[in-house]
Amino acid sequence: MTVDQGQVDQGRPLQIDSSVDIGGARLKNPVIAASGCYNRGAEYGRVVDVSGYGAITIKSITREPRLGNGMPRVAGTPAGMLNAIGLQGAGIEHFLANEAPKLASVPTAVIASVAGFTVDEFADVAARMDGIANVVAIELDVSCPNVDGESGACFAADPAATAAVVRAVKRRVRLPVIAKLTPNVADLQPIARAAEAAGADAISLINSVRGMAIDVVRARPMLANAIGGLTGPAIRPVAVAAVWDVAQAVKIPIIGMGGIESGRDALEFMFAGATAVSIGTANFRDPQVHVRVLRAILDETARRGFNSVRALTGLANPDFAGARVAT
């Protein structure tokens, strides 16, 4: 998709190519709704034009129905939000029968997020997502922080476990596969390399940061699950650093996320090495946030004299390992 930026650069109308390629999935623009914050797209569609997103990532689907965690599941913190939803959902059968057909009417591309507790579960659910109308990629939620203790579900803490999931899924699907990694590890680079070596077509990061808040009046954790995942601007520097590190370790595209609220925030991620960005919690405050973010990315592209948003990727990262776009 090209967007007319009007008369800039010595009176020449500059056409900006806003499209990006996420491991084979072509998105019309690099702004994505993050998993868990957009359900299936219909809710925010009541108040904003969802088609402004390059893609939306649906809430993670598991094989079995799950009731999720007890209440409370969310808590406010000074610069972010804690959540421990616990992957509530009706499971893949219900999804395929009732919700998958509706994805065809989502007015932009859909990334299907898959969660699981075993390698087989990931592969089974991912395989059944392949072929749903409008689904352009599979994101593997190998890093949900809120289901620990249920078989040590955080695959993304370990390079071999991450690779095993990616490899099993890649054998079963044709769509591009995105591995979503956690920042709750000592060193992300070996995990990202393992995902790439196992065939991942892209990496998204970060998932929420393990965190906790305590109600000092009641002397109890704020969340029923005690520990939750922190999101929002509080985690943005952690996320930018994660993208920075991983961009030096792998050649596959990166989707950066974590506390993005504005175009300026998104540029940090792209300059660190992200090809695209995802917005999660900020939707809860400003459902128009994606419009502002995309406009800022296009403006910045034009201001720097580039004709593609892809030229912004890795600008600040001298050791960026991915493919640079000549413009």
Partner 1 sequence: MSRPAPKKNSVMASTAAALDMATLATREYSAPGFWCLGFHAPAAAASARPAQFAALDIPGAFAPRLPLGIWTARDEQIGFLFREWGERTRRLAQLQVGAQISVIAPLGNAFEAPPRGRRAVMVAGGLGIVPFWMLARDLVNAGSDALAVIGARTSQLLVGAELLERLGVRVVLCTDDGSAGRRGSVLDIVRELAQPTDELYGCGPAAMLRALCGFALEAGLPCQVSMEETFGCSMGTCWGCVVPVRPGSAQATNYPKAPDERRPYDFARVCADGTVFRAADLVWNP
To the query of whether residue 144 is one of the catalytic residues in this protein, the response is yes
CB of 272 to partner 1, least distance (A): 22
- For the chain, the 3-state helix, strand and coil shares in percent, each to the nearest 5, are 35, 25, 45
According to the binding rule CB under 8 A, does residue 215 interact with partner 1? Answer: no
Q: Which is nearer to partner 1, 79 or 160 (CB)?
A: 79
Minimum distance, C-beta of residue 196 to partner 1, in the bound complex (Å)? 31
Whether 230 and 81 have beta carbons less than 8 Å apart is answered as: yes
- Among residues 19 and 284, whose Cβ is nearest to partner 1? 284
Nearest to 236 by CA among 193, 273, 279, 172: 279
Q: Which of 22, 25, 75, 144 is catalytic?
A: 144
Element (H, E) at 303: helix 289-303
Residue 159, interface with partner 1 (CB under 8 A)?
no
- Build a one-symbol-per-residue string for 3-42: x at contacts with partner 1 by CB under 8 A, - elsewhere: ---------------------------------xxxx---
Residue labelled with tokens 């010595």: 10
Q: Does 146 bind partner 1 (CB under 8 A)?
A: no
Sign of the dihedral defined by the CA atoms of residues 135, 139, 145, 150, in that order: positive
CA distance 216 to 222: 9
DSSP type of residue 73:
-
Report the nearest approach of partner 1 to the CB of residue 253 (Å): 26
* Among positions 282, 293, 311, 312, the unique one binding partner 1 when judged by CB under 8 A: 282
Provide the token pair at 142. 């190998």
Give the integer Cα–Cα distance in Å for 97 and 76: 35
Closest distance of CB 190 from partner 1, Å? 32
Q: Could you give the residue numbers annotated as active site?
A: 144
Residues that bind partner 1 (CB under 8 A): 36-39, 43-44, 46-48, 59, 65, 67-68, 71-76, 78-81, 83, 85, 88-90, 94, 97-98, 232-233, 261, 281-288
